[in-house]
Chains A and B, each alone.
Chain A
Amino acid sequence: MELPPPLEAKFNDLLGRYPVKRSALIPMMLYAQDQFGSLGDEILEEIAKRLDLNMIQVTETLAYYSMLRRKPAGRYHIQVCTNISCMLRGGNELYQHVQRRLGIGNKEVSPTGTFSLEEVECMGACTGAPALQVNYDFHENLTPEKVDILLEQLQDGKKPKPEPVTSGSQHDRLPAEVPVISRRFGIANSHKIDVYLQTEGYQALEKALKQMTPDQIVDEVKKSNLRGRGGAGFPTGMKWSFVPKDTNKPKYILANCDESEPGTCKDRPLMEMDPHQLIEGMVIAGKAVGAHVGYAYIRGEYRYIIDIMDAAISEAYAKGYLGKNILGSGFDFDLVTHTGAGAYECGEESALMESLEGKRGYPRIRPPFPAVVGLYGCPTVINNAESLSTIPAIIRQGGEWYANLGTPKNGGTRLYSISGHVNRPGIYELPLGFPLRRLIEEVAGGIAGGKKLKAVIPGGSSCPLLSADEIDIPMDYDSVAKAGSMLGSGGTVIMDEDTCMVDMARRIMHFYAHESCGWCIPCREGTAWLRKMLDRFHEGGGREEDIPLIDELSKNMLGRTFCPLGDAAALPTISIVKKWRNEFEEHLQGKCSHRPAEVIAAAL
Chain B
Amino acid sequence: MSDTASAPQPLIPVPRGPVPKAPLRQRKMVELKIDGKSVSVPEGSTILDAARKLGIDTPTLCFLESLAPVNVCRVCVVELEGSRTLVPACSRKVEPGMSVQTDSERVRLSRRIVLEFLASSVNVSTAPAFPEYLKRYDAHPERFGLSAATVAQPVKVDNDLYVRDYSKCILCYKCVEACGVEAQNTFAIAVAGRGFSAHISTEYDVPLPDSACVYCGNCIGVCPTGALMFKSEYDMRQAGTWDESRQTHTDTICPYCGVGCNLTLDAQDGKIVRVMSPVGNAVTHGSLCIKGRFGYQFVEIQPAQKEK
Contact = CB atoms under 8 A, between A and B. Distances in A.
B74 A520 contact: yes
B170 interface: yes
A560 B91 contact: no
Nearest to B199: A518
Interface in A541-571: 543, 545-546, 549, 552-553, 556, 559-562
Contacts of A41: 204
Contacts of B86: 559-560
A528 interface: yes
Given A56-B212, A529-B117, A549 B143 contact: yes
Interface stretch (A58-66, A311-319, A483-491): A58-66
Contacts of B109: 556
Contacts of B145: 543, 546
A560 B110 contact: yes
Nearest to A556: B113
A536 B146 CA distance: 13
A17 to B, nearest CB: 25
A472 B197 CA distance: 42
Contact of B196 (A343, A520, A524): A524
B198 A518 contact: yes
Contacts of B197: 518
B195 A56 contact: no
Given A57-B190, A59-B204, A529-B144, A521 B114 contact: yes
B240 interface: no
Given A59-B190, A60-B190, A560 B85 contact: yes
A57 B72 contact: no
Interface string B166-210: 000011000000000000000111111111111001111000000
Nearest to A53: B187
Nearest to B211: A56
A556 B148 CA distance: 18
Contacts of A59: 190, 192, 201, 203-204
A360 B191 contact: yes
B144 A562 contact: no
B179 to A, nearest CB: 9
Among B189, B197, B203, the one with the most A-chain Cβ atoms within 10 Å of its Cβ is B203
Interface string B69-99: 1011111010000001110100100000000
Nearest to A541: B147
A519 interface: yes
Contacts of B204: 41, 59
A521 B194 contact: no
Interface in A370-391: none
Contacts of A522: 74, 110, 113-114, 117
Contacts of A193: none
B74 A521 contact: yes
B11 to A, nearest CB: 40
Nearest to A41: B204
A60 B192 contact: yes
Contact of A527 (B72, B77, B148, B196): B196
B45 interface: no
B118 A525 contact: yes
A516 interface: yes
Contact of A63 (B189, B194, B212): B194
A516 B195 CA distance: 5
Nearest to A528: B196
Given A56-B188, A517-B194, A549-B143, A560 B149 contact: no
Contact of B117 (A54, A514, A526, A559): A526
B284 interface: no
B171 to A, nearest CB: 7
Interface in A343-379: 343, 360, 365
Contacts of A561: 74
A507 interface: no
A515 interface: yes
A453 interface: no
B121 interface: yes
Given A549-B143, A562-B71, A527 B192 contact: no
B195 A514 contact: yes
Contact of B147 (A526, A536, A560, A562): A536
A562 B85 CA distance: 10
Interface in B97-138: 109-110, 113-114, 117-118, 121
A527 B195 contact: yes
Given A522-B117, A556-B110, A532 B195 contact: no
B195 A528 contact: yes
Contacts of B113: 522, 526, 552-553, 556, 560
Contacts of A519: 72, 198
Nearest to B173: A519
A55 B187 CA distance: 8
Nearest to B198: A518
Taking each of B118, B143, B192, B201, which has the highest tally of chain A beta carbons within 10 Å of its own beta carbon?
Answer: B192
Nearest to B75: A521
A515 B171 CA distance: 17
Interface string A489-530: 000000000000000000000000111111111101111110
A223 to B, nearest CB: 27
A149 B78 CA distance: 59
Contacts of A552: 113
Contacts of A365: 69, 71, 88, 91
B187 A56 contact: yes
Interface in A1-28: none
Contacts of B144: 529, 549
B256 to A, nearest CB: 27
Contacts of A543: 145
A365 B117 CA distance: 22
Interface in A49-82: 54-60, 63-64, 66
Nearest to B107: A560
Nearest to A522: B74
A60 B189 CA distance: 9
Contacts of A57: 187, 190
Interface string A299-330: 00000000000000000000000000000000
Contacts of A64: 191, 193-194
B71 to A, nearest CB: 5
A344 to B, nearest CB: 10
A520 B72 contact: yes
A519 B69 CA distance: 13
Contacts of B190: 56-57, 59-60
A517 B195 contact: yes
A560 B149 CA distance: 21
A156 to B, nearest CB: 37
Contacts of B75: 521
Q: Which of B88, B148, B190 neighbours the largest number of chain A CB atoms within 10 Å of its CB?
A: B190
B216 to A, nearest CB: 15
Interface in B193-241: 193-198, 201-204, 212
Contacts of B149: 528-529, 532
Chain B CB count within 10 A is highest, among A343, A517, A521, for A521
B118 A521 contact: yes
A556 B116 CA distance: 12
16 contacts: A59-B190, A60-B190, A63-B201, A64-B194, A518-B171, A518-B193, A518-B196, A520-B71, A524-B195, A524-B198, A528-B121, A528-B149, A532-B147, A532-B149, A556-B110, A561-B74
Given A521-B118, A521-B170, A552-B113, 16 more contacts: A41-B204, A59-B201, A59-B204, A63-B191, A63-B194, A513-B195, A516-B195, A518-B194, A518-B196, A521-B73, A521-B117, A522-B117, A525-B118, A528-B195, A529-B144, A560-B77
Query: What 5 A-B pairs are tightest by C-beta distance, nearest first?
Result: A518-B198, A60-B190, A528-B196, A525-B117, A63-B192
